[in-house]
Structure 1
């Protein structure tokens, strides 16, 4: 195929030099048409060209599209995939934009790179530039892995209404088409689909027919769904993966074969797992890879012999090797492999299995960055690969030859309010790029970006799906993972396209300031797994073991804020700061005190409110909705700032018995009530109560107020802080 493209390229150059300069267009019916020549059989390039055609036509430029064939008279835009590099090296998924005889050339070594190059040209035309004067450049991806993590609502890891509400939407291919379109436009190249046990929804196992109870018609419908989804992904340069939680079978399998649903290492489960992996790979030729984890239901053996000891890291890896890896190697074609690094993993045992597997492609080893709260500090403060949370550099030292690390940026911190902070992402990438790192995963565990079930029905809602409302989040992560040097002007132009010429810069400035609030809270209030922090709600439904918990509410009380350790190493906790001040010790250089953090939050809030006021006169209901989110973040920033000040004053009073400090704390906490009332007022006009931990939280857990979420629900807890401060 590459040889054919080289022939096309040579032919094009011959034709290009044979035509005079300026003859780049065809005249048809008195209208000037621009010719776009490309491989019309390539689906990814077709996708890019559809966006380029749309941008050109919007700019008033008629277009004609022609296939690249050995006699095509091409004068306009020429898109080619070829192996010859010339002077400037183009890597996989990279591209070059150049000119030859007034012809715009987009050159790549693969279809995905060509698609990204065409999307780049389309974007620049949308920004008002002429296709004839674009600056020549070579762009290569910073990371080879740019993945979205999307949980599936069937056989879901988390349970309850927050998952179940998405079942119909996630079976609708229209949803996936829109999501995949957005992923391609934002340069994501992996769609990872997660649930407990996907296989029984994908095949009727040859030797285990009772693994599911789907009829032949139902099974055929599932087959069409997966086949179409994987094909659509491939057509957009996106690799689909399925990821499961290892030793798990369907309820139907457990009942039919007399085994347990979780952590059953019996021979029948081993054989089934091995065979079903092979069958899934063979039946779905567009499935790119399979991922596994070694935690959760591998804590101990639970087969027929309950006296067996707990599984060691070697036991876990052995099971993986004998089932998942063996099933992969028995398939008719190779697929790629994700080996997650979690609590029960061991780098030495993991290396052994990956080495033994001798897979043709680089294995992906995913590590949670700062556990479940990647939207915190860009400093790697803790991971999920040891019970202590400390980093184990055995995963990358010595440098592996057959696998690379991807940081998992989990978002369990904001699901409702829009978010976008480009400089945080740029800092994150700059600080965590290393020879052993080849990419990032971005996504949530307790949230699926499918049905938007939080927003009330109103004319604000011009989007259909949740990810479309959070468009900036995905654009920033995807585009910056591909090219961290992507300028703010690109993101500002996206606002201009939506809301008009004067919106771009102030909107991005407002987002950048507003979106600091959850980052600052997650950096200050150290947390671990999913439900130990929910930043936009100021909630900590479960203890992270990093400070006092009052067992009253999931809302973070003033006492809990005072007595909690930080995640960011340069932040001083309230207790640390007050102790040093009362001891008249100098604050160490480079440390950020709670009062300095409060000042930063106030500055953020001021910036947001200024930009919101500047933009409020716009007549777009959707713009008004985005501004409401920004305003909500600004008052959450003020709330957090005054609560930090109150915490410092209250802790000072408790240690010094200075009544003036107690009164100071009460004053700040009264201001907090005012801020929270404002948050409640703004959000009530856009959002209604939604399920959060409902269906997952145990009946015995004290924090039942986290089962359903709305900001106004927690006003009594905000007021309770005043009572706590008044205690002698």
Structure 2
């Protein structure tokens, strides 16, 4: 009895962690590092978490020049030896029974510690890790996050996020995830951010915030930028150029948009300088030369027409002058969009003589980067064709970042590692130093699509889409990151013996939106929404029926492709009827249908391997993958129906018409299954509402749920029967 009391009091005195060491026989593992470095502290916190899971306590101590402790040593010092370590890179090696992490900056050291934590989580010992040196593949690995105030898109799909996006707890979680996944740039986008950040000295009427409200905003931005810096992440604000707040427009009798008057120029110049001076952790400012710099759409003859030189001159006189007048340098994002010109852009960047490399962001395949890894079009001309003037000749003071916009899946989970690897392999070039990843019509904050449920263990939308962010971030940092890393994430998250079936299921399921966006050529945001099989607006790449946003059989037949190796329905049928052989380099619609069916089969087989005993939360992920599987089947049979229907229309052979109707009946079955699965845990959500008028022919895109479009799926049968 006396011995039991002794053990009890011993437990109380030394704490649970130390008691575990006594009973397990494991001594404390010492890690020596710069304890004043916030990024390294972050990495060590993740290492400590991984060690706790295996019953190993961690003792943290400051690193000194004479540190000789046996354990883990984290050293930030200039590169040495034959193997050159760049910024944000690291080396893992052993010396005198100690594990060394060597880096040239704090972010690299943080990534090295995160690497060790990950390997321990995968079951390895800190004593037996494979020595290696890792450097980032890209120096810019950025998330694009729209803000719901002064938002570019409007309506409930933006407004629903206002409360969460003012909550610093949300941003802390997002930044934590970004650091863990090796993202190093947070870009925050809205029309006019400045009036939410400062009370302009010479233009106090630019916002109507009281002193206390302005103090709240100041605390928000200051804390957000500081938290980013503490995780090795550079924060940027990006706006849409010639725009002022409603309060400014009223007070100074100017237009909110496209007003190039002297007072707007002076305000813009001064507010940029003031923002930089008041926020020392703000890394840079981005600018876009488009929407409110000319009447390029031809919809309002009252707006002045600005030439590319006019636009760049305005940028030079306002944003760049404001940047150069600040007390410290910041970086510049110069977007390449419809109204840009590479020659004029080069002139302004050259004349600016900014100390840091300017970031030139270019939309990859316009708003649908999740399509083909082939660069088929960009966003810098009315024709939508590629313009290599941005990188030919090779620039000396700026580099290009591809913007991989996601406007094609907002609800269903997605993750396809091989697509990202292929994308990086095909689009790495001397003039490219990174990628931006994000959406325009979607903010990854409030998960407003999921019904309230006990299995909803995530608080925010980006946490539900955890694999999307992990794949993009980790592979942009190191494209050789093996699938085993992502498989292990599933195993640890859900207690699985192996995560391989889940990653294989995801990889196959996630092909569907890529294949549709590659086949159905699109341009701006609302010209394609793959997970809904919608095209609310015309992309000028085929017939639009002006009936519904749902892609009908006729629209599928008439539309051209984005991926150059894909044959459209009309091209394929014409070549087949002309008895022309299909080139080996081309993919026919029927071959594409076969690939989609194979994807679906793989998904459903892998799900059966993990469904038994799956937790409710894992079951929710499985439902998303099953939805993709039936969407793949739907797309496959619709392609076959389209080929048969177009063949009938040209030959008048009714057997082809009947085949088309048979396939379309199968499509109805698939869509009913999609509606059944999604209806079990998703409800109707706003999509284009707030952006288009209620009189538009595509008003059925204002609110989205798969079951809403069953009548249009059935209507395809009537279209096939009409001929």
Q: What's the TM-score, normalizing by structure 1?
A: 0.95
Distance across 2 between alignment mates of 1:308 and 1:525: 33
* Partner residue, 1:74: 69
* Partner residue, 2:248: 253
* Partner residue, 2:687: 692
Deviation at 1:588, TM superposition (A): 1.9
* Partner residue, 2:573: 578
Contact 1:368 1:407 in 2 (8 A): yes
Distance across 2 between alignment mates of 1:699 and 1:352: 44
Distance across 1 between alignment mates of 2:483 and 2:195: 45
Q: Work out the number of aligned pairs and report it.
A: 699
1:157 corresponds, among 147, 152, 155, to 152
Residues 1:236 and 1:308: Cα distance change in structure 2 (over 3 Å): closer
Distance across 2 between alignment mates of 1:502 and 1:162: 39
Distance across 2 between alignment mates of 1:204 and 1:577: 61
Deviation at 1:424, TM superposition (A): 0.2
Distance across 2 between alignment mates of 1:718 and 1:503: 38
Distance across 2 between alignment mates of 1:307 and 1:378: 40
1:210-249 superposed matches below 5 A: 210-249=205-244
1:193 aligned counterpart, secondary structure:
strand
1:489 aligned counterpart, secondary structure:
helix
Quick check: 1:391 aligned with 2:414? no
Root-mean-square deviation (Å): 1.3
Quick check: 1:549 aligned with 2:529? no
Deviation at 1:70, TM superposition (A): 4.6
- The superposition leaves residues 632-683 of structure 1 with CA deviations (integer Å, 9 ceiling, x where unpaired) of 0000000000000000000000000000000000000000000000000000
Quick check: 1:715 aligned with 2:710? yes
1:185-334 superposed matches below 5 A: 185-300=180-295, 309-334=304-329
Deviation at 1:190, TM superposition (A): 0.1
Distance across 1 between alignment mates of 2:155 and 2:337: 24
1:62 corresponds, among 57, 64, 67, to 57
2:336 aligned counterpart, secondary structure:
coil
Distance across 1 between alignment mates of 2:503 and 2:662: 34
* Partner residue, 2:37: 42
2:272 aligned counterpart, secondary structure:
helix
Distance across 1 between alignment mates of 2:65 and 2:590: 70
* Partner residue, 1:142: 137
Deviation at 1:698, TM superposition (A): 2.1
Contact 1:263 1:300 in 2 (8 A): no
- The superposition leaves residues 124-165 of structure 1 with CA deviations (integer Å, 9 ceiling, x where unpaired) of 000000100000000000000000000000000000000000
Quick check: 1:98 aligned with 2:104? no
1:128 aligned counterpart, secondary structure:
coil
1:593 corresponds, among 588, 596, 606, to 588
Quick check: 1:348 aligned with 2:343? yes
* Partner residue, 1:536: 531
Contact 1:418 1:629 in 2 (8 A): yes
- The superposition leaves residues 45-81 of structure 1 with CA deviations (integer Å, 9 ceiling, x where unpaired) of 0000000011111111111111113554421000010
Residues 1:308 and 1:53: Cα distance change in structure 2 (over 3 Å): closer
- The superposition leaves residues 252-287 of structure 1 with CA deviations (integer Å, 9 ceiling, x where unpaired) of 000000000000000000000000000000000000
* Partner residue, 2:446: 451
Distance across 2 between alignment mates of 1:460 and 1:687: 13
1:584-623 superposed matches below 5 A: 584-623=579-618
Contact 1:638 1:675 in 2 (8 A): yes
1:528 aligned counterpart, secondary structure:
coil
2:521 aligned counterpart, secondary structure:
coil
2:513 corresponds, among 509, 513, 518, to 518
2:554 corresponds, among 539, 555, 559, to 559
1:715 aligned counterpart, secondary structure:
helix
Deviation at 1:308, TM superposition (A): 8.3
* Partner residue, 2:423: 428
* Partner residue, 2:356: 361
Residues 1:307 and 1:471: Cα distance change in structure 2 (over 3 Å): closer
Contact 2:26 2:56 in 1 (8 A): no
Deviation at 1:589, TM superposition (A): 2.4
1:375-386 superposed matches below 5 A: 375-386=370-381
1:340 aligned counterpart, secondary structure:
strand
1:438 aligned counterpart, secondary structure:
strand
- The superposition leaves residues 94-130 of structure 1 with CA deviations (integer Å, 9 ceiling, x where unpaired) of 0000000110000000000000000000000000001
Any stretches of 5+ residues in structure 1 without a counterpart? 1-26
2:127 aligned counterpart, secondary structure:
helix
1:655 corresponds, among 640, 650, 656, to 650
Residues 1:635 and 1:242: Cα distance change in structure 2 (over 3 Å): same
Distance across 2 between alignment mates of 1:615 and 1:545: 44
Contact 1:566 1:573 in 2 (8 A): yes
Contact 1:635 1:676 in 2 (8 A): yes
Deviation at 1:31, TM superposition (A): 4.7
The more displaced of 451-460 and 527-536 is 451-460
Distance across 2 between alignment mates of 1:189 and 1:247: 28
Contact 2:294 2:303 in 1 (8 A): no
Distance across 2 between alignment mates of 1:208 and 1:309: 25
1:375 aligned counterpart, secondary structure:
coil
Distance across 2 between alignment mates of 1:642 and 1:657: 21
2:199 aligned counterpart, secondary structure:
coil
Distance across 2 between alignment mates of 1:350 and 1:723: 52
Distance across 1 between alignment mates of 2:258 and 2:694: 24
Distance across 2 between alignment mates of 1:357 and 1:597: 49
Deviation at 1:460, TM superposition (A): 2.1
1:408 aligned counterpart, secondary structure:
strand
Distance across 1 between alignment mates of 2:614 and 2:143: 34
1:592 aligned counterpart, secondary structure:
coil
1:119 corresponds, among 114, 122, 129, to 114
1:133 aligned counterpart, secondary structure:
coil
Distance across 2 between alignment mates of 1:140 and 1:323: 37
* Partner residue, 2:127: 132
Residues 1:613 and 1:216: Cα distance change in structure 2 (over 3 Å): same
Deviation at 1:619, TM superposition (A): 3.5
Q: What's the TM-score, normalizing by structure 2?
A: 0.96
The more displaced of 500-509 and 329-338 is 500-509
Residues 1:84 and 1:645: Cα distance change in structure 2 (over 3 Å): closer
* Partner residue, 1:488: 483
* Partner residue, 2:456: 461
- The superposition leaves residues 663-711 of structure 1 with CA deviations (integer Å, 9 ceiling, x where unpaired) of 0000000000000000000001110000000111123321000000000
1:142 aligned counterpart, secondary structure:
coil
1:338 corresponds, among 333, 337, 344, to 333
Contact 1:503 1:615 in 2 (8 A): no
